[in-house]
Amino acid sequence: MNQTIDATATTAAEFIDLEDRHGAHNYHPLPVVLAKGEGCHVWDVDGKHYYDFLSAYSAVNQGHCHPRIVDKMVEQSRKLTLTSRAFHNDQLGVYEKYVTEYFAFDKVLPMNTGAEGVETAIKICRKWGYEKKGIPDNQARIIVCGQNFHGRTVTIISFSSDQGARDNFGPYTPGFESVPYGDIAAMEAAVGNDPATIAGVLVEPIQGEAGVFVPQDGYIEAVAAACKKHNVLFIADEIQTGVARTGALLRICGDCACAGHCERQPATYVRPDILILGKALSGGVYPVSAVFADDEVMNVIQPGQHGSTFGGNPVACAVAMEALEVVRDEHLIQNARTLGARFRAEMQSLVDQYPGLLKLVRGKGLLNALVINDSPDSDTAWNFCLALAEGGLLAKPTHGNIIRFAPPLVITEAQLLEACGIIGGVVKKMAKTR
């Protein structure tokens, strides 16, 4: 065989055809082929400009190709990229100190993808359940929520309620029980039912993939309280909601907008026993995830019991530190908070004007969704997104009739208002043709 890299494809149709013929069909992307990104902007192969209102599912909170983060990655890549954890490197310890201070936990366990972070949290939680809580062998249970999204591994899809994610991937990993999201009474009942065999509760503080479901006020506090009462670990998956996205450093910080961990806990901070971060931890330039816990929990993991060849590599460490410095230096928490309120106000006025097309807007910070007034089986939201792309804004439907809007947090007010104008234009056009 004598392969060469095919450099003959130049048009969007040709690139899409290459993917179609040679790649697994595990995604259904919008027919847009991107070639360049900067801040909240992306450009396709024809040079057409778009506002990115997905941000790679909130991985690109710091904006595309942030120069500080990219420079750091290049600089570290020229020195040392990977040692494996068979040896130490001169970035890992520095990163571990920095990131545990930033998020106020004793320890961090570095991984690469979000799903790996969730798997890691589950393993830590189960081991703690057996060794510290005294759960009988192989009987540990973890409570999860309906409509959750925690990733795509066999164990994680074992407790998904999405049939497409589950069907024909069995047999499923046992030991998980699901309760409806946002239902305090259901959660309290589940955690109170034979708590001696419950190791943990795994929750997204806002369900992103499910369609930006914001639970009622006090829900997370109630979940944490139920866990505390029954000696059960509260595990927060903030892979999508964390790192400034919702107008707080973490969603569990609630209304506290300080940049970094503050002294006001526990009044405003529902501290999870295990915190999972990913996505924007690297500003979207490199896969970096992390699991945080205090010593009492994290120390159940000993050498040989968990790991990853790439986890904690020097490039990941250097990149994540710079990405978190950018969050602080560029006031992304405040920006997400202020512009998020502005965005919802703009969308609410569209909802009020076009109730036939739009049902409601909801969200926190710059993680928001518009719910289309049509059935989840209709193609209205998909067509809406195609029209938005034509108008120069990229977003993607989730669960059929919900459109998530999550621009990079570096977006300015003027850019946001221009983007709202694009959305408004499409709404007007679509409302007319219905």
Q: Residue with the closest Cβ to ligand PLP?
A: 114
List beta partners, residue 144.
178
Q: Shortest gap between Cβ of 59 and ligand PLP (angstroms)?
A: 8
Distance CA 86, CA 71 (A): 27
Q: Annotated catalytic, 279?
A: yes
The single residue of 279, 364, 374, 384 carrying the catalytic annotation is 279
323 is a site residue for ligand PLP (CB under 6 A): no
H helices of 23-146, in order, are 55-58, 67-79, 92-103, 114-128
Q: Which of 201, 202, 212, 239 binds ligand PLP (CB under 6 A)?
A: 239
55 is a site residue for ligand PLP (CB under 6 A): no
φ and ψ at residue 317, rounded to 5 degrees = -65, -45
374 is a site residue for ligand PLP (CB under 6 A): no
Q: Shortest gap between Cβ of 220 and ligand PLP (angstroms)?
A: 14
Q: Annotated catalytic, 149?
A: yes
310 is a site residue for ligand PLP (CB under 6 A): no
What amino acid is encoded at 147 in this protein? Answer: Q
Q: Annotated catalytic, 310?
A: no
Q: Is the peptide bond before 171 cis (omega within 30 degrees of 0)?
A: yes
- 11-19, 114-122, 123-131, 383-391 -> range binding ligand PLP (CB under 6 A): 114-122
* Of 204 and 273, CB closest to ligand PLP: 204
The single residue of 52, 72, 213, 237 carrying the catalytic annotation is 237
Q: The dihedral of CA 42, 46, 48, 50: what is its sign?
A: negative
Sheet with 41-44, side-by-side order of all strands: 34-38, 41-44, 49-52, 393-394
285 is a site residue for ligand PLP (CB under 6 A): no
Distances, alpha carbon 145 to alpha carbons 207, 213, 291, 331, in Å: 10, 12, 20, 32
149 is a site residue for ligand PLP (CB under 6 A): yes
Binding mask 192-211 toward ligand PLP (x if CB under 6 A, else -) reads ------------x---xx--
Pairing mode of beta strands 49-52, 41-44 = antiparallel
Give the active site residues: 149, 237, 279
Contact residues for ligand PLP, defined by CB under 6 A: 57, 113-115, 118, 149-151, 204, 208-209, 237, 239-240, 278
